[in-house]
A = this chain, B = another copy of it.
């Protein structure tokens, strides 16, 4: 198998990527947002973790971490939390769509 084919089949394995969910401590290190603050945003309904549907400890997927990063950026720029959340909500919609589309593609390729 050529390196290029490998690349296409392998990068990215969206099904695996979906399952790569990280703990709140890790998210905090990645984003530089304190765990306490992450929980607070979640409490306000701005972000979501796996806790809401399963289990007892929060786990965040790729898109959630990305969302936290975006919100933090806007906060640092002077936005209020609600304004930042609203703006990011809009951006995430595009990202989510693209993500789903690629996940679908990779699923098609594996089943053809």
- Could you list which residues of chain A lie within 8 angstroms of chain B, going by C-beta atoms? 1, 3, 6-7, 10-13, 16-17, 19-23, 26, 29-30, 59, 62, 65-66, 69, 94-95, 97-99, 101-102
Contact = CB atoms under 8 A, between A and B. Distances in A.
A65 B20 contact: yes
SS class, residues of chain A in contact with chain B: helix
B3 A30 contact: no
A29 to B, nearest CB: 8
Contacts of A19: 26, 29-30
A65 B102 CA distance: 20
A94 B20 contact: no
A20 B23 contact: no
